[in-house]
Amino acid sequence: MSTPVTFWRSVEELRAHADRAVSRDCLAGLRAQGQQPESPSRRDFLSVAGFSVAAAAISACSRGAEQKAIPFLNQPEGMTPGVDTWYATTCGGCRAGCGLLVKTRDGRPIKVEGNARSALFGGGTCAVGQATVLSLYDGERLEGPLWHGRPASWTDIDAKVEAFLSADGARPKRLVLLSRTLLGPATRALIAEWSQGRGLRHVVYEPISLAALRRATLAAFGVDAIPHFRFGRARTIVAIEADFLGTWLSPVEFTRDYASGRRPEESAAISRHIHFESTLSLTGSNADLRVAIAPSEQGAVALSLLRRIARKLGAGDPVETLETTSAARALDIAADDLWRCRGESLVVCGARDFDTQMVVHAINALLGNIGRTVDVDRPSLQHRGDDDAMAGLVEEMRRGEVDALLLYGVNPAYDYPRADEFVQAMKHVPLTISLSDRLDETAALADAVCPDHHFLEAWGDAEPVASFFSLAQPTIAPLFDTRAAQDSLLEWLGRPPDFHAYLRDHWRRTLYPRQQQFATFDEFWDRALHDGAFAPADGATARATRTLTGDWRRSAARLAARAGSVRPEGRFEAHVYETVAIRDGAHANNPWLQELPDPVTKVTWGNYAVVAPSVATRLGITAGDVVSLDGGDIRLDLPAWVQPGQSPHAVSIAVGYGRSRAGRVGSGLGTNAFPLLAADGRSPSQASLTITRTGRREPLAATQTHHSMEGRDIVRQISPAALVDDAGDRREADDAASLWRARPAAEHAWGMAVDLNACTGCSACVTACQAENNVPVVGKDEVRRGREMHWIRIDRYYTGSEDDPATLVQPMMCQHCGHAPCEPVCPVLATVHSSDGLNQQVYNRCVGTRYCENNCPYKVRRFNWFEYASNDRFDFNMNSPLGRMVLNPDVTVRSRGVMEKCSLCVQRIQAGKLAAKQEGRTPQDGDIQTACQQVCPAEAIVFGDLNDPASRLAQLAKSARGYRVLEELGTRPNVHYLAKIRNAPDGGRS
Amino acid sequence: MRAAAVFIALAAAVAPIAVALAAWELSRVGVHQGYAPIQPIAFSHKLHAGDYQVSCMYCHWGARTSRHAGIPSLNVCMNCHGLLTRQTTDIERLKEAVQQGRAIAWTRVHNLPDFVYFNHSQHVIGGVACQDCHGPVQTMERVRQDKALTMGWCIACHRARGPELQLARQATLGRGDPHAPFPGLDCGKCHF
């Protein structure tokens, strides 16, 4: 930290550049001259400001600080300082197990990208995946193992554990491993060895569980797994409370597949998406037709859909009952579309209820979707949580029937709905060992904490979908004295703690024989490590039946019996959901994710109670009013948020907040909503809450409070019919006469196209840009003042009525205008236009007048109001040497008083041009990808050279759907947008 | 009165000199031309690069592929000194460091501010010789910063030689508009 300086005004500038540009000699020299009055009088100032003193002081400053350059002792082969090295691995951010390519520079990972070679996931990632590179450098990570809260050595802990396990040898110990879904076959094999050798029982616990779906799939098709849903093969998609583009099951894969069915340039047919849900989710906001339902109506909606499909089959009503749902018209349309596209349709449901899932399976089966859009032959292995087993475990623990409990990747003391019960039950377990990487709520109660590596430091494998395998390899040597969880398990099993060897051996025995391409195992292994993914050609693994078994009729009858129950007056159903950024709260300490505006509400840094506008009016609530949600045995106080499209019968609260031991960034933010899941153990639809105002206010930090386009044509939406009619009709605003002289044409003309039809609003691009360009985190207070620093933002607009709006999203970044309003107004020419079409921001020239920000019609320029790096006031990732390891060395870290904005990843453009130059050629289309383009799972952003007629950008710029935002102002932006296509039924719905 | 008049006359004589001196000093803030720090091991480029004609790229191999030319790791030094028997104080220091597993902390001579992006490989591939920017290193006993390395100095060369290098490259590729502006003069080329 810089030392405080007393009087010299120019030295303040030196202070802002802390320990680099300022010579400590210089400051010492000034202080030594003894010129330190308390408050200098004018006479003192003049005497000190004498030129002779100035010259002496400044000449002493001209040397600058001495810098050391320390090379390796022995240079590792294959690594050049300043050149990136890429490793293929598998993401551990959530359970989906997407393939990754991790960019490391000088031995440390700084950016995460998807693995374009992955057949399942492609090159995109989600926002959480992007943020995992920062969680590697989290200061909350434990630096070594703990025993009863005090640091211990691995040998000590191993000795204690082994002593416990072998003590009292007559009776075998009852050991339980409580873990999250483990995707790795090798890890599962290791646990199987524990089960056989030591009688270990493995319970899989997921706080947001899909156990009902798995049980229903077992009952219906004989497969103990969740089906693999193929959205790319579906021309009609009906979803009931399933946020499959945002948080449900495998959002990156589903987004990629979903977007592939909605590209009019590639196929004539656009898919139709109908959505039933209680709160406006990311996925629901993309639907062509969306209906708000209460959570308790999920079953009724599924049942009504089943009846309609059954009627189309002429099968008669499977259940005799009256219609009880209000979504009748939407259900008619859904049924018609599903029937029309049978075999190419898909119904998915996120309800945590067995009967509803059985009915949905029945619908898919009747439509002939099984084996086509619903794959049960190669099912998904991404969620294997077992709620019954977990409840049973807690009971056994309470009765003292568990001797040792290993906790791996779980935090039930926080996220178990009846967390108090779990905490009490833990006390009856003689030995508890947590493998958590930090001292979270559960680890703080454990006897031993044996911290696992971060997934970027560890070996592993994954099988997210049956017969689709991927590897995980370390991208950096472990930063702390942590040990791989599998190594710990091997050690305690009495085996050498080398999971790398175990993993290789497992692949040699099980997967190497399943391929014919490589003659030796080492060749196969090297190729698998290089590619990241391996899919043996030998077909299905699950013996599935495509005909529906199981008594789905009984499920339908049970749903019918439940439907029509009267909701108490003045009470609301609790609806608990995951946000795209925070998910189940495991990443609560990640500042990038906390500051990521929620794709729908645009609120950051906390959760809130989402209420419908009609409810808000009736109860006199505005956004930010703290309300009390009272459900009898549970009471939560949190600020309210008024959300268009919210079901008037439900109040929605996001989980993942209210953590007490997340770390400096995440602790104490928001309110814990997991207890709301406890009402009937799983589904929250039975919880019944009252909402009362407390009179307190807690303003929320929302990045977008303005939702109107003010009559301007900013986001455009068309129907598929209009696309055909209007082909070829494009206004060319550039033909208008201009006051500016034309610029000479250069070799390249960089531009971008954003397909609003493919963009779902997932905001992965926002985090990718933050990671790539060293964009600082500013914290909740500054976000409230509108000072968030994201270079790209997703604007979200509503059209239609308040209760039932349609949503439009638009990624907005610097438009790199040909006639940029920001350029002529800079008094120091800090923002100029490059020869190849970029609007450049020169940080070192900027003096911070902010005239450019004022003039920008798109409001994409961000100002550094404070020194965000190395500043205790902004104690996020840039305030510690560990956190700063994530910074991209190719991009300047901006200081206070400087304007910044999207540069179209000029560092990547330079690198791409240089790579082409090194190979003696010009850059080809696709060589250079901006960070936002690279990360997008839907491939909605396309960067390219407008001068290259063969480039994808040039084709898209000529599209009939294409337009530029506010082009009537004459700014001539180089970013083109392709209008969203709303495939609404009847061609209507604005 | 008289004393005051004398004082004013003296001040009027001294002031312009002081102003000129201050202006010159201010313009040299951050310019380290002539900086020749003492290094932990007195490595002589005159001996190695001059007399023995070891190529720049043998040690500073990063310059062709990376933005940093780099300082060689000790195993590069030991490629020769592991075999040679000649012993001096500096060679002893080198071998001690290798034996103790300690990397050498050289004092960096050429350094640009954080807001400047300089990429060696771009220039090396582009046909700029090492001596053009680093001066006659093969004559230096102790490395000194020979040129000013100010932005004006960089731009002067970009203006003088850039277009010609671009034309040469266009000739090699067989394409390109000879009248196209030279991108090397864009601000964003080095400041991003």
pLDDT tens per residue across span A199-253: 899 999 999 989 999 999 999 999 999 999 999 999 999 999 999 999 999 999 9
Give A891's pLDDT tier (boundaries 50, 70, 90): very high
Question: In this predicted structure, which of A734-738, A774-778, A881-885 has the lowest mean pLDDT?
Answer: A734-738
Of B26, B35, B68, the CB nearest to A81: B68
Mutate to test the interface with A, among B38, B187, B189, B190 (most CBs of A within 10 A): B187
Q: What is the mean pLDDT of residues A866-873?
A: 95
pLDDT of residue A170: 62
Mean pLDDT, chain A, as a whole number?
88
For residue B125, list chain A residues with Cβ-Cβ distance below 8 A.
914, 917-918
CA distance to partner chain A, nearest, from residue B53 (Å):
23
pLDDT tens per residue across span A321-357: 445 455 888 999 999 999 999 999 999 999 999 999 9
The DSSP line for A68-135 is EE---SSPPTT--TTSEEEEEEE--SSSS--EEEEEEETTEEEEEEE-TT-TTTTT---HHHHHHHHH
Does B82 touch chain A if contact means CB atoms closer than 8 Å?
no
Q: Is the predicted pLDDT of residue A27 greater than 60, yes or no?
A: no
pLDDT of residue B171: 86
Cα–Cα distances (Å) from A255 to A165, A395, A538, A776, B137, in that order, read 47, 40, 27, 28, 57
Residue closest to A137 by CA, chosen among A876, A657, A790: A876
**Interchain CB distance below 8 Å, A842 and B176:** no
Q: Quick count: other Cβ atoms within 10 Å of Cβ A292?
A: 24
Q: Which amino acid is at A74?
A: N
A747 CB-near residues (< 8 Å, 6+ apart): A836, A922, A947, B176, B177, B180, B183
The secondary structure of A468-537, three-state, reads: EEEEECCCCCCCCCCCCHHHHHHHHCCCCCCHHHHHHHHHHHHCHHHCCCCCCHHHHHHHHHHHCEECCC
Q: Which residue has the higher pLDDT, A56 or A964?
A: A964
Helical residues (DSSP H) of A126-236, grouped into ranges: 127-135, 154-166, 185-198, 211-221
pLDDT of residue A569: 78
Residues within 8 A of A (CB atoms), B 95-124 only: 97-98, 101-108, 111, 113-117, 119, 121-122
Most confident of A50-59, A715-724, B75-84: B75-84
Mutate to test the interface with B, among A10, A61, A72 (most CBs of B within 10 A): A72
First to last CA, chain A: 56
Q: What is the mean pLDDT of residues A163-175?
A: 79
Residue closest to A245 by CA, chosen among A673, A759, A602, A595: A759
**Interchain CB distance below 8 Å, A83 and B65:** yes
Does B192 touch chain A if contact means CB atoms closer than 8 Å?
yes
pLDDT tens per residue across span A275-309: 999 999 999 999 999 999 988 889 989 999 999 99
pLDDT tens per residue across span A110-161: 999 999 999 999 999 999 999 999 999 999 999 999 999 999 999 999 999 9
Nearest CA in chain A to B98: A73
Q: Is the predicted pLDDT of residue A168 greater than 80, yes or no?
A: no
Q: Is the predicted pLDDT of residue A7 greater than 50, yes or no?
A: no
Indicate if the alpha-carbon torsion angle A441, A446, A449, A450 is positive or negative.
negative
CA distance to partner chain B, nearest, from residue A959 (Å):
27
**Rounded CA separation A852/A854 (Å):** 5
**Interchain CB distance below 8 Å, B187 and A842:** yes
Does B17 touch chain A if contact means CB atoms closer than 8 Å?
no
Of A55, A69, A903, the CB nearest to B106: A69
Determine what percent of chain A is predicted with pLDDT higher than 70: 88
Of B19, B73, B108, the CB nearest to A51: B19
Q: Is the predicted pLDDT of residue A4 greater than 50, yes or no?
A: no
Residue closest to A287 by CA, chosen among A331, A319, A243, A250: A243
Angle at A98 between CA A95 and CA A102, to 5 degrees: 120
Residues within 8 A of A (CB atoms), B 36-65 only: 37, 62, 65
A815 CB-near residues (< 8 Å, 6+ apart): A858, A860, A964, A965, A971, A973, A974, A975
**Interchain CB distance below 8 Å, B103 and A68:** no
Mean pLDDT, chain B, as a whole number?
91
Q: Is the predicted pLDDT of residue A420 greater than 60, yes or no?
A: yes
For residue A840, list chain B residues with Cβ-Cβ distance below 8 A.
186-188, 191-192
For residue B105, list chain A residues with Cβ-Cβ distance below 8 A.
68-70
Q: Is the predicted pLDDT of residue A13 greater than 70, yes or no?
A: no
Of A54, A82, A835, the CB nearest to B186: A835
Give A547's pLDDT tier (boundaries 50, 70, 90): confident
Nearest CA in chain B to A913: B122
Question: Beta strands of A850-953 (E only): which ranges?
Answer: 862-863, 899-900, 941-945
Determine what percent of chain A is predicted with pLDDT higher than 90: 73
Q: Is the predicted pLDDT of residue A938 greater than 50, yes or no?
A: yes
| DSSP 3-state percent helix, strand, coil across chain A (nearest 5) | 30, 20, 50
pLDDT of residue A482: 97
ipTM: 0.91
Nearest CA in chain B to A910: B189
**Residue A382 is encoded by which pair of tokens?**
């991404």
Q: Which residue has the higher pLDDT, A740 or A911?
A: A911
Q: Quick count: other Cβ atoms within 10 Å of Cβ A402?
A: 24
pLDDT tens per residue across span A255-273: 999 999 998 877 778 899 9
Most confident of A494-508, A680-694, B16-30: A494-508
Q: Is the predicted pLDDT of residue A910 greater than 90, yes or no?
A: yes
pLDDT of residue B135: 96
**Rounded CA separation A833/A899 (Å):** 15
Residue closest to A503 by CA, chosen among A470, A456, A460, A464: A460
Residue closest to A936 by CA, chosen among A775, A760, A803, A780: A760
Residues within 8 A of A (CB atoms), B 128-167 only: none
pLDDT of residue A14: 34
Task: Please state the pTM of the whole predicted model.
Answer: 0.91
Give the alpha-carbon dihedral of B158, B160, B162, B167, to 10 degrees: 170
pLDDT of residue A12: 31
Question: In this predicted structure, which of A432-441, A783-792, A981-990, B55-64 has the lowest mean pLDDT?
Answer: A981-990
A292 phi, psi to nearest 5 deg: -85, 130
**Interchain CB distance below 8 Å, A744 and B101:** no
Q: What is the mean pLDDT of residues B28-51?
A: 93
Question: In this predicted structure, which of A566-580, A764-778, A945-959, B147-161 has the lowest mean pLDDT?
Answer: A566-580
pLDDT of residue A563: 72
Most confident of A70-79, A557-566, B56-65: B56-65
**Residue A730 is encoded by which pair of tokens?**
């494009």
pLDDT of residue B60: 96
Question: In this predicted structure, which of A585-589, A933-937, A958-962 has the lowest mean pLDDT?
Answer: A958-962
The DSSP line for A355-412 is HHHHHHHHHHHHTT-BTTTEEEEEEE-S----HHHHHHHHHHHHTT--SEEEEES--H
Residue closest to A903 by CA, chosen among A813, A976, A824, A778: A813
Asked if A347 contacts A364 with a C-beta cutoff of 8 angstroms, the reply is yes
Residue closest to A5 by CA, chosen among A62, A59, A57: A57
CA distance to partner chain B, nearest, from residue A115 (Å):
24
Of A73, A918, A921, the CB nearest to B121: A918
Q: Is the predicted pLDDT of residue A109 greater than 70, yes or no?
A: yes
pLDDT tens per residue across span B120-166: 999 998 889 999 999 999 999 999 999 999 999 999 999 998 888 88
**Interchain CB distance below 8 Å, A55 and B25:** yes
The two most distant CA atoms of chain A are separated, in Å, by 101
Question: In this predicted structure, which of A23-37, A536-550, A667-681 has the lowest mean pLDDT?
Answer: A23-37
pLDDT of residue B163: 83
A469 phi, psi to nearest 5 deg: -110, 150
